Structures are given as structure tokens and as C-alpha cells.
Chain A
Amino acid sequence: MYKLDLQPLLFEKSRPGRSTAILPPCDVPEVALDSLIPASHLQDAPPPLPELSELDVVRHYTNLSALNMSIDANFYPLGSCTMKYNPKRNERLARLPGLGALHPYQDDSTLQGLLAILYGLQQDLAEIAGLDAVSLQPAAGAQGELAALLVAAAYFRDQEPGRRRTQVLIPDSAHGTNPASAHLAGFETVTVKSDSRGLVDLDDFKSKLNDDVAVFMITNPNTVGLFDPQIGEIARLLHERGALLYLDGANMNAILGVVRPGDMGADLMHYNPHKTFSGPHGGGGPGAGPIAVRAKLAPYLPAPIVGRREDGTYFLDDDRPKSIGRVRAFFGNTGVLFRAYCYIRSQGPDGLKRIAQHAVLNANYLLSLVKDVYPVPCGSRCMHEFVASCRSLAKERGIRAMDVGKRLIDYNFHAPTVYFPLIVSEALMIEPTETESRDTLEAFAAALLAIAAEDSESLHDAPFTTPVSRLDEVKAAKTPVLRWTP
């Protein structure tokens, strides 16, 4: 993959007068534009875009694509991001014109097939969550977090008029979006410590739980790769105080069909379908962030929701007076949701459970191969991911987590997530997912072990095989250049 060198920018390849003929000539009377739109609204010249031939464009992007690591080409054990195989069948189905050509405002009667799919997905997601109602609208996990917290706020405003719950509790191991979402939803956040096992420090939690707490946001299995068995007790304590338990669904892949958030006391949660249900990550998006809630919270969900009439026909239910409103225009990220539907249908109940089993098996097997050199501070077992620490490697040999990550690229593996979660020093967060084979896991472990034995001085310069070596990130931030200029 790295035989290629960097490419000139599109703008540097531009030559005046080059173009790609795409559109036909005008077939209605070609009246002067300024007789249709007053000249005061018109610009004199076309926009200053690059001028390229079609082959210029094709070669440019084909060559750019080859500069990327991707699931199709590389093992990508990026903890917390769940980079599993993206089935080609889903891509093919998503490209059928029956999906792309649907307009969000066409009449329900012309959408029955799609609405059946989306209704089915709502049902599936509710069942997998062990909760009662689903809104598919949020456009990403973080937007799902915000929407769910707004649902909680609306619920409390209704249930407890005249008082206001102001706090959201968040563990120190949480994803950074949790506190940001809580802040945007109008709450102040209170951090709950982790104990030495990497689980919620129950005493700290109890000391911070009071009647001002609206929601506790927990990721379980958590970001150090452990299932927190105290979850039942946590839920009980929250519910005694009238507060709600929110489950960040980023790690659902580990528990599909084995444990349901609702059964362990969660009242609301979001999914990341691009992680759990194999939507491609697209170089950073799009994803989606459907949310599932208990029945008492259902009236507040963002609308529309797909409903089913008695005659079996489907409709978009926008008539929800208690809804928090919209977080996004139109229905939601339908294309991503559609792939999730196809994935769930491909798996069925047994397949989903097997995914969790093999995700956890692969992670534990990989852990067993590397733990002597890359110790895991929290427990000797894990769920679908584990956080190893390079702390002793750094101390004894001067090899830091970032060095290991960068050097792995030379071995043709993408780096794990480094320096997250924040509670583990020199963290390497590794998530193999269920779709990788034993052979791949063993090859990856061998690379990790080999790197630990390499010369630490030269490791600081890794990677060596990529078209660029380590980048000056400080310069990028200090003197931001965010666009090309001639």
C-alpha cells in the first residue's frame, strides 16, 4: 500500500479550460439569466473551483485511496471504535435505486417498503436493548447522547414540576462526548471515580448521588474492557432517588444477545450502528445514533417515529406533543440504519449472540498472547477489548505507547487507540472484533512482541514505510493552514 507517494492537491492539478462534460444542453427556452434573476443577485464569474479532466479526477482519488489503511486491507484493532468487517452485501443492497431515490417528503403511501424496514429495525433495537421504544433520528452516537439527555430533562420537567434536577454523573473513564453532551443538555457534570479494579468506585458514586442527580451515564462493558457487575446495585440506588440510568451503547458488540441494557436497569441508551451493526466508518462518518428508552420516556422521543396502523400499513408518526422536537432534519441517517437492518437480518438471534461470544473470545485470546509484555492493569480477563499499559516498557526501555502504535503501521497493522481511556497511563486500547481470524490475532501479537524487543531509540522515528514520517502536530495547531491558497 505504501509504494505510492503523496499526491499533488486537486488545485495544483487544475488547468484552465479543462472540464468534464456531464450535463446535457438546455431543452427549455434559453432566456438570459438576468431576465429571470435580477443581476444584483448574480455573480459575474463561475465559482473558483479546480478545472480537471475526468481521468484527472479518477486517478487523483484512486491514488489518494491507496494512502489509507482500511478494514478492507488491514487489521484495525482500534479500541472503542469496533472496526469490524463491513459486509459487501449490505453495500450492494444500499445502492439499489429503491433507497437512494426516496425523497424525505414523499407520501407515506409510496414508502411502505422502506417504512417496513425501519419499523422492523425499531422493533429489533428495542428487543436487543430490552427497552420499549426507539427513535432512529439522531445522526451520530454523540447526538443520540444529547437527544436522550434532552428526553430525560423533558421527563423530569413533566414528572417533577417546580423542581429541577441539575446534575449528570459520569465516570472518569467515560467517552469525552458524555460530559460535552450533558453540558449542552443544560446539566452540570459530576465525575465519579474508578476504583483500582477499573470499575465504578461505589463509595464515590454513593457520596455523589443526591436528589439533584438526573442521570448517571455509564458505559458497560466500560472503556477498560470490563463488565461492571455492580450495575444492578447502581441502578437500584439511582431509581430509589428517582434518577435514571443511561447506558452509552458504544460497547454493545460485546453483549449482543447475552445481556440487555434494560434488564440490568438502564432506562435509556444510544446505539452506534456503525460499530455494533457493521456500518462502514467512511473515514470518520456517517454513523447514526438511534436511542432506546423505557415506556415512560417514550412520549419525549424525537419525532418522527415509524408507526403501524391496524390495517398493517406504516406511517410516520410526527404527532407527538411531548416530543423534545427534532435533533436533525428529515427522518435520520436512513442509509446507515438500512445497513444495520440488513446486518441484523443476516445474523438472527443466534448470530448476534455468536458475535458477542467471538468478539470476547478474540479479545481474551489476544490478551493471553501479549499480557506478559504488555500488562493489563485492570484484571486478567476482558470483554471485547482490553487496555494494556506500556508504562513499564516506557520506564525500562523507553518505549512509549505512541511508539508501539506507530511501529505497528510498518507491520501493516493499524495502531490501537492510544492514550485512552485517561485513567490508564501509556494506554494501548485494543479491540480485535469477532471478524478477525486466529491467524491474524497471532500475527498481530507477534508484531507487538517483536516491537517490544526492538531498539527503543529508532522506534521514536517509526513508522518508516509510510509516505510521510511523524508529523509536526504542534505546528499544525499553532499556525493553522486549513485550506489551499494559490
Chain B
Amino acid sequence: MAYIANTPDDVRVMLAAVGLDSLDQLFDMVPPEFRLDRPLQIPPALTEFELTNKVGGLLAQNEGADRRVCFLGAGSYDHFVPAVVDDLAARGEFYTAYTPYQPEASQGTLQAVFEYQTLVAQLTGMDVSNASLYDGGSAATEGILMALATNRRSGRIVVAGSVHPEYRRILQTYLEHLDAEVVTVPAVAGGVDPKEFAAAITPDTAAVLIQYPNFFGRLEDVEALVKAAHAQGAAVVVSVDPISLGVLKRPDAYGADVVVAEGQGLGNYMSFGGPYLGMLACKQEFLRKLPGRVVGQTTDRNGKRCWVLTLQTREQHIRREKATSNICTNQGLLALRSSIYLAAMGPSGLRQAAELSTRKAHYAAEALAKVGLPQAFPGPFFKEFVVKCPKDPAAVLKKVGEAGFHGGVALGRWYPELSSHILVAVTEKRTREEIDGLAAAYRDALASV
């Protein structure tokens, strides 16, 4: 009877109060032909002790970043998570609460979200942020939908081929049935050609989507790309790595209209891709089309400052079939984690994380070049870079794996022309010893494959 408090005695009393003789009668509205006349065919129940052994055993079969040194990135990163994040977010009063529909009973969650919105605005230089979205990919898509709803032209969207391939795929899925057209400018040598990008943007282009640092870790000439879009009146949606904002220019400085991000690196674990944190912030002019939830400041009847969910008319609560987004929930707990992370790291801590990631990534790029894995693309990069592998990446990465490293992400699955290329990410967690070890493992792998 796990988690059920009713005793047989309770059941008798309660059934009598309802006027029934058996639990089965509770379902007498269900036509008999639909009632399942056999037990579900799923495994029998496990006690807590058994479950712990079973699940613990299964999880122990995995070789994650706790068992192999992790140099994998491509949108999910092994950044350090301070203890305060785990400890505070694990408070049951946070994680077993629900959407703050009754603000008087939920000021804790509401204030935390209001602070999250402020932190995101501070970090990105944008005017407003929502309370979070599903993940970086859906944030990019919602950012585009929002730009479309605000800046309605013919519905042409221009996307840089250096945006995360899975984000681009999500956008395609969402826009497939709407009156919109996606034009992708291919990535060559790790980024789009600014002239080609500018040429693709027509006067009826509603918005462009770029990523900075891009999927390959490179810092493209973001100012030129933004200028090209603005010259045609298109809104600019930029997908950023929030950790990079510890050192890189804030998006307002180069003219972004909408900033989206994957917030996983801000105090959230990689967890095989989810749950993650979709961040979305924008300039004031998009406010009324901002998807998802937002918390606003107000006063109670005694004039006391407090917080409440607001601007809900934009949502399906009221607009229903006219809604421009069907987002209902948010990622409250992960937004909370990222807020605690930013509060604990502060300006100097975030800068340190970004600087360490930059320096260590550059050190790693040099170390790998020395063992025969030259950097594939010229130009500046942040914490991630692409190397050209002289032998089959799958075989090489397998060997590197056996030596105890998750050595990188092979790019051929998304970019056939880069089938001999590997994307390597280095966070502040990686030590010099680990990076040297990776280089040695690659050297040995190249020699033996």
C-alpha cells in the first residue's frame, strides 16, 4: 500500500458514506467492456530497498562524467555545481510546491522567479525575461514565434547553419504547419559567410536566428550579422551560452532584440539532456507577445510590495485557439537552481568560470594540435572548438574512451561534410592534468587505430 494512508477500516467507513459496497463500484460509470479484466503486464512492485538496489545497479552500468573525464559539449556542459545549489533547491517547500496560482501562499516561489527574471535581464542586457521555457531549443523556437507575432511580415525566417542542428530541427517541426518559411544559410569553415547571410535576408524577413558562441564554439562576427538583419528590419534572435556572458559582450551591446539560451550550465546537471532550462529575454517592444509565464511586482491591499503571475491574457488561459504559444508550464525548479547559482557565483565567480573555461579550452586546443589534431577553423572561440581528425573519429573516440575520457562529439551525424571532425569542450572543471591526459590518449589512439 505504498503512499496510501487508508486502512481497511477507513475504506469500509468511506465506502459506506458514499453508499457503495466495494471499490470496484467506484468505477460503475465505466462501461464494462472497457474495464481491464487482467492485471497490467508490468513488473511486480519493489520495496524501497529492492528498488534502490535495482536502480542503483542500472545506473552504475553507465559511464558518465563521474567515471570518465568529460570533454563533451554541443549544448550540454560539465560545469561545476556549488553545494548551495543542490542543498537549497532540494528543500521540499520549493520542489513540492506548484505553480503559484494563489500568490498569498506562494510568495517564496514568486519572489524567486522575479529575481530570476532580473538576473537574466542583468546577464543579457535585455529589458525583460520570462519565467523560463522547456530548454534552449524550444526557447530559440519560441523566440522566433514571438518575433513572428510581433514583426509579422511574410513569415520568412533566416537561420545560420552554425546554430545547434537540433535547435534548427525543432524550429522546423514547429513552423511546418504555420505560415512561415525557414531559410538556412549554410555554415562554411565553422560559421556563416556574412555576405551570404546578408543576401539571404529580404525586406520581408521577420527574424533571423544566430548563435554566439556558435555550435562550433566559434565567435562569429556577430555585429555584422546583426547589422545585416536590422538593415532589412528583421528582428534578431541570438542564442547564447550564459556562462560565456562572464567574459563576452552582453547581447544588448551588439543589438540583439531577443536573447535565448540553454541555462543548463548555470547550476544544472547534464542529466542526459534534461530537464534543462530554456531562457528567453527580450526588449520591451516584445513584452505583450512574450511566451510562457511571467511574474510581476505589485502591492497588496495594505500597500506592501509583493509578486504575482501576470500578463496571463497572452496565454491559453484566455486566448485559447488564438494563442501564439501553447507553453503552459515553465522550468521553475531549474530556474531556481540557476538563480541560486548566479547568486552564489556573483559577478566575479561567473567571470572566473568563463575565464577558466576560455583559458583551459585554448590550452587544450594547443595540446591537441601538438598530437595531430589541428584546429579545423580559424578565428576566436570560447570554451569549445573543432579539431580535424586524421583517422576515423568513431574509432579514435572509442580508443580515447577506453583510456577514460569522453573525448569529444563527432560532427558527421549533423554535418556530413565534417565527418572527420570532432567538437571538444573544456569547462572550468577540467584540470591541466586531465587535459594533458586527453592529449596523450588521442596521441595513443591515433597511433593504434
Complex: how many Å from CA A57 to CA B322? 42
Given contacts A23-B353, A438-B13, contact A113 B102 (CB under 8 A): no
In the complex, the chain B residue whose C-beta lies closest to that of A303 is B169
Contact in complex: B328, A84 (CB < 8 Å): no
Instruction: List which A273-328 residues lie within 8 A (CB) of chain B.
Output: 278, 280-288, 302, 324-328
Complex: how many Å from CA A351 to CA B48? 14
Complex: how many Å from CA A349 to CA B247? 54
Complex interface: chain A residues within 8 A of B97 (CB): 68-71, 281-283
Given A48-B122, A99-B271, 17 more pairs with CB closer than 8 A? A20-B82, A43-B249, A47-B246, A52-B343, A61-B340, A91-B95, A95-B86, A101-B66, A107-B398, A113-B61, A281-B95, A282-B334, A286-B333, A348-B43, A353-B39, A415-B105, A471-B298
Selected A-B contacts with CB under 8 Å, 7 pairs: A22-B344, A26-B359, A86-B95, A103-B78, A104-B270, A180-B323, A361-B6
Given contacts A57-B344, A86-B95, contact A103 B329 (CB under 8 A): no
Complex: how many Å from CA A259 to CA B247? 56
Complex interface: chain B residues within 8 A of A140 (CB): 134, 327-329
Is B346 part of the binding interface, using a Cβ–Cβ cutoff of 8 Å? Answer: yes
Is A455 part of the binding interface, using a Cβ–Cβ cutoff of 8 Å? Answer: no
Contact with A along B217-254 (1 / 0, CB 8 A): 00100010000000000000000000001111110010
Given contacts A345-B45, A477-B310, A480-B287, contact A142 B329 (CB under 8 A): yes
Instruction: List which B75-92 residues lie within 8 A (CB) of chain A.
Output: 75-76, 78, 80, 82, 84, 86-88, 90-92
Given contacts A37-B380, A61-B88, A475-B299, contact A49 B249 (CB under 8 A): no
Contact in complex: B332, A345 (CB < 8 Å): no
Complex interface: chain A residues within 8 A of B154 (CB): none
Given contacts A100-B269, A348-B44, contact A93 B52 (CB under 8 A): yes
Contact in complex: A47, B118 (CB < 8 Å): no
Binds A, one of B25-33, B183-191, B193-201: B25-33
Given contacts A7-B111, A469-B301, contact A54 B344 (CB under 8 A): yes
Contact in complex: B432, A180 (CB < 8 Å): no
Contact in complex: B45, A348 (CB < 8 Å): yes
Contact in complex: A43, B253 (CB < 8 Å): yes
Complex interface: chain B residues within 8 A of A255 (CB): 27, 30
Contact in complex: B115, A484 (CB < 8 Å): yes
Contact in complex: A43, B40 (CB < 8 Å): no
Contact in complex: A57, B3 (CB < 8 Å): no
Contact in complex: A43, B248 (CB < 8 Å): yes
Contact in complex: B138, A139 (CB < 8 Å): yes
Contact in complex: B98, A358 (CB < 8 Å): no
Contact in complex: B176, A150 (CB < 8 Å): yes
Contact in complex: A329, B273 (CB < 8 Å): yes
Complex: how many Å from CA A435 to CA B117? 35
Most chain B Cβ neighbours within 10 Å, of A116, A128, A186, A468: A468
Complex interface: chain B residues within 8 A of A355 (CB): 4
Contact with A along B291-318 (1 / 0, CB 8 A): 0011111111110111010111101111
Complex interface: chain B residues within 8 A of A99 (CB): 59, 64, 269, 271-272
Contact in complex: A283, B51 (CB < 8 Å): no
Contact in complex: B98, A81 (CB < 8 Å): yes
Contact in complex: A27, B431 (CB < 8 Å): yes
Q: Count the B residues whose beta carbon is within 8 Å of the partner chain — how many?
A: 204
Given contacts A49-B123, A281-B96, contact A101 B23 (CB under 8 A): no
Given contacts A85-B3, A335-B274, contact A112 B61 (CB under 8 A): yes
Is B390 part of the binding interface, using a Cβ–Cβ cutoff of 8 Å? Answer: no
Is A454 part of the binding interface, using a Cβ–Cβ cutoff of 8 Å? Answer: no
Contact in complex: A468, B173 (CB < 8 Å): no
Q: On chain A, which size bracket covers the interface?
A: 35 or more
Most chain A Cβ neighbours within 10 Å, of B44, B90, B164: B44
Q: Distance in Å from the Cβ of A415 to the closest Cβ of chain B? A: 5
In the complex, the chain A residue whose C-beta lies closest to that of B138 is A328
Is A473 part of the binding interface, using a Cβ–Cβ cutoff of 8 Å? Answer: yes
Q: Distance in Å from the Cβ of A323 to the closest Cβ of chain B? A: 9
Q: Distance in Å from the Cβ of A362 to the closest Cβ of chain B? A: 7
Instruction: List which A320-379 residues lie within 8 A (CB) of chain B.
Output: 324-336, 341-342, 344-355, 357-358, 360-362, 364-365, 367-369
Complex: how many Å from CA A350 to CA B347? 53
Contact in complex: B93, A73 (CB < 8 Å): yes
Is A450 part of the binding interface, using a Cβ–Cβ cutoff of 8 Å? Answer: no
Complex: how many Å from CA A384 to CA B170? 36
Instruction: List which A29-84 residues lie within 8 A (CB) of chain B.
Output: 29-31, 33, 36-38, 40-43, 45-52, 54, 56-58, 60-62, 64-73, 76, 78, 81, 83-84
Is A405 part of the binding interface, using a Cβ–Cβ cutoff of 8 Å? Answer: yes
Most chain B Cβ neighbours within 10 Å, of A91, A128, A467: A467
- Nearest 5 interchain pairs by C-beta: A330-B273, A186-B177, A98-B59, A348-B45, A282-B333
Contact in complex: A20, B345 (CB < 8 Å): yes
Complex interface: chain A residues within 8 A of B304 (CB): 6, 468-469
Q: Distance in Å from the Cβ of A272 to the closest Cβ of chain B? A: 9
Complex interface: chain B residues within 8 A of A87 (CB): 2-3
Is A466 part of the binding interface, using a Cβ–Cβ cutoff of 8 Å? Answer: yes
Contact in complex: B270, A102 (CB < 8 Å): yes
Contact in complex: A36, B321 (CB < 8 Å): no
Given contacts A10-B115, A60-B343, A283-B97, contact A47 B350 (CB under 8 A): yes
Complex: how many Å from CA A284 to CA B339? 15
Complex interface: chain B residues within 8 A of A237 (CB): none
Contact in complex: A177, B328 (CB < 8 Å): yes
Complex interface: chain A residues within 8 A of B64 (CB): 97-103, 106, 110
In the complex, the chain B residue whose C-beta lies closest to that of A174 is B320
Q: Distance in Å from the Cβ of B62 to the closest Cβ of chain A? A: 5
Given contacts A27-B432, A110-B63, A477-B313, contact A329 B75 (CB under 8 A): yes
Q: Distance in Å from the Cβ of B25 to the closest Cβ of chain A? A: 10
Contact in complex: B108, A64 (CB < 8 Å): yes
Complex interface: chain A residues within 8 A of B352 (CB): 23
Contact in complex: B56, A37 (CB < 8 Å): no
Q: Distance in Å from the Cβ of B178 to the closest Cβ of chain A? A: 6
Is B349 part of the binding interface, using a Cβ–Cβ cutoff of 8 Å? Answer: yes
In the complex, the chain B residue whose C-beta lies closest to that of A325 is B173
Contact in complex: A281, B98 (CB < 8 Å): yes
Instruction: List which B115-153 residues lie within 8 A (CB) of chain A.
Output: 115, 117-119, 121-123, 127-129, 131-132, 134-138
Task: Give which listed residue, A26, A112, A327, contacts B170 with CB less than 8 A.
Answer: A327
Is A202 part of the binding interface, using a Cβ–Cβ cutoff of 8 Å? Answer: no
